[in-house]
């Protein structure tokens, strides 16, 4: 009887090793679909407000402010370069060769995975570094995790400093330093607990000047991200200030990451639109302003990432793809 029950189709499916992969692929598919539907709704609303508003004024504004586009592109490049320096520096501290052409191409290749949910696109870089025979998978995954943690510390410190600035401007540097110090202290305590495990970090990793420098480089990149938004909105009607741009630019990106949606699609645009509307920017200006900002700081980097990925794959017998990164996450129990 026991054998007869175990041969039922439902139990055979439960033991099917392909089932977790199928389920994960379904989740990724529908998460991506949800993101695009949300983005579509936000976009349609923006177009609707554009059409019922004084759209001739909007067109006239952009005709007289075309210089915004190259300025925005230049600042976006600075942002990405700073992020790349921080990424390569972290890998270098794990004794992984990264400050070269292959490392630069690998960093940019990560942009090809921006439309993967839950930050799975980050795994393109460890996958590439392993296939380039730069390091072991374990070391690359640890380095990538530390990159994410230090980036999170940097943006949290910046946002905390901006909030304190509103009430006590003189205390801003102390607030930023306090968030960094507390984060590094907690990181150091956790690192000690992980000593002699597979998650062990290089000796004296946290309380070291390179770690602080990497955080500051990342933070400067986030400031550039906010300045990029300010370049777009500075001359728009309304009350958008530099503080608003520095806070809502990085803040909207953080919200997008927190949702787990691919590229924060919909969530990022929604918060940007709400923040501009809160500061009395006319609704007819929202769609084009947000579209310009996201096009240059997000969308244009995806094809650049694919070009970089093609450069990396020319050196490999087994190509790196977003799908291989997703399979890497599955094999390591990530996501």
| pLDDT score of 269 | 87
**10 is a domain residue:** no
Q: Is residue 277 part of a domain?
A: yes
- Stronger pLDDT, 33 or 192, i.e. the higher one: 192
103-143 tens-digit pLDDT: 999 999 999 988 887 677 888 999 999 999 999 988 999 99
pLDDT bucket at 7, cuts 50 / 70 / 90: very low
The stretch 151-177 carries a mean pLDDT of 96
* Side-chain half-sphere CA neighbours of 188 within 13 A: 14
pLDDT of res. 4: 46
Domain-embedded: residue 68: yes
- Is it the case that residue 14 has pLDDT exceeding 50? no
Structure tokens at 253: 């990106």
CB-based contacts of 39-46 (< 8 A; 24+ apart in sequence): 39/265, 39/266, 39/269, 41/266, 42/266, 42/269, 42/270, 42/273, 43/269, 43/287, 46/273, 46/286, 46/287, 46/290, 46/291
Within a domain: residue 12? no
pLDDT tens digits for 49-84? 666 666 788 888 889 999 999 999 999 999 999 999
Is 8 within the bounds of a domain? Answer: no
pLDDT in tens, 261-273: 788 888 898 889 8
> Distance between CA 206 and CA 200 in Å, rounded?
12
Res. 246: pLDDT tops 80: yes
Contacts of 160 (CB under 8 A, 6+ apart): 175, 176, 179
Write down the mean pLDDT value for the chain. Answer: 85
As given in the structure block, the two tokens for residue 178 are: 């306090």
Determine, yes or no, domain membership for 2: no
Instruction: Write the burial class of residue 9 (CB in 10 Å: 0-12 exposed, 13-18 middle, 19+ buried).
Output: exposed
At residue 121, the pLDDT reads 81
The sign of the CA dihedral 131, 307, 322, 298 is positive
Is the CA virtual torsion 173, 179, 184, 189 positive or negative? Answer: positive
79: containing domain: 17-331
And the tokens for 234? Answer: 């500075």
Q: Give the pLDDT confidence score for residue 9 in this predicted structure.
A: 47
Distance CA 279, CA 285 (A): 12
> What contacts 186, CB < 8 A, 6 or more positions away?
none
Instruction: Report the C-alpha gap between 37 and 266 in whole angstroms.
Output: 8
The span from the first CA to the last CA of the chain, in angstroms, equals: 39
Residue 211, pLDDT above cutoff 80: yes
State the pTM of this model: 0.85
Domain count, the chain: 1
Say how many CA atoms lie within 13 Å of 180 toward its Cβ. Answer: 25
Q: How far is CA 64 from the centre of its chain?
A: 32
> How many residues are present in the chain?
335
pLDDT at residue 264, as a whole number? 83
Q: Is residue 224 part of a domain?
A: yes
How much is the pLDDT for 261?
Answer: 79
Confidence grade of residue 47 (pLDDT, cut at 50, 70, 90): low
Q: Is residue 196 part of a domain?
A: yes
Provide CB contacts within 8 A for 79, sequence distance 6+. 221, 222, 224, 225, 228, 297
Q: Under a CB-based contact definition with an 8 Å cutoff, are residues 83 and 250 in contact?
A: no
Interaxial angle between packed helices 124-131 and 322-331, expressed in degrees from 0 to 180 and rounded to the nearest 10: 90
Crossing angle between the packed helical segments 101-109 and 68-93, to the nearest 10 degrees: 120
Closest by Cα among 34, 45, 75, 40 to 273 = 45
Mean pLDDT of 195-217: 88
* Cα 103 to Cα 119: distance, rounded to the nearest angstrom: 20
Contact status, residue 267 vs residue 290, Cβ threshold 8 Å = no
């Amino acid at each position: 009887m026991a054998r007869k029950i175990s041969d039922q189709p439902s139990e055979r499916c439960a033991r099917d090793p392909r089932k977790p992969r199928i389920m994960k692929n379904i989740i990724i598919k529908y998460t991506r679909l949800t993101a695009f539907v949300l983005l579509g709704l936000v976009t349609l609303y923006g177009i609707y407000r554009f059409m019922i508003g004084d759209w001739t004024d909007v067109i006239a504004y952009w005709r007289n402010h075309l210089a915004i586009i190259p300025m925005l592109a230049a600042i976006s490049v600075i942002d990405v370069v700073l992020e790349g320096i921080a990424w390569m520096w972290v890998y270098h501290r794990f004794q992984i060769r990264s400050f070269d052409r292959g490392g630069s191409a690998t960093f940019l290749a990560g942009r090809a995975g921006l439309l993967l949910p839950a930050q799975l696109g980050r795994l393109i870089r460890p996958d590439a570094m392993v296939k380039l025979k730069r390091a072991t998978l374990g070391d690359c995954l640890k380095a990538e995790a530390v990159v994410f943690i230090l980036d999170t510390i940097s943006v949290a410190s910046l946002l905390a400093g901006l909030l304190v600035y509103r009430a006590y401007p003189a205390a801003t540097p102390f607030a930023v330093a306090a968030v960094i110090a507390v984060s590094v202290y907690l990181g150091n305590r956790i690192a000690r607990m992980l000593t002699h495990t597979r998650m062990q970090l290089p000796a004296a990793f946290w309380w070291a000047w390179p770690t602080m420098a990497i955080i500051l480089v990342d933070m400067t990149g986030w400031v550039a991200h906010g300045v990029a938004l300010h370049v777009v909105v500075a001359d728009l009607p309304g009350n958008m200030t530099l503080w608003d741009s520095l806070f809502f630019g990085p803040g909207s990106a953080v919200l997008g990451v927190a949702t787990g949606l691919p590229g924060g699609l919909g969530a990022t645009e929604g918060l940007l639109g709400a923040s501009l509307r809160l500061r009395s920017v006319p609704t007819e200006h929202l769609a084009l302003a947000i579209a310009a900002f996201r096009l240059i700081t997000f969308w244009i980097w995806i094809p650049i990432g694919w070009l970089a990925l093609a450069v990396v794959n020319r050196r490999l017998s087994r190509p790196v793809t977003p799908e291989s990164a997703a399979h890497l996450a599955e094999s390591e129990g990530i996501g």
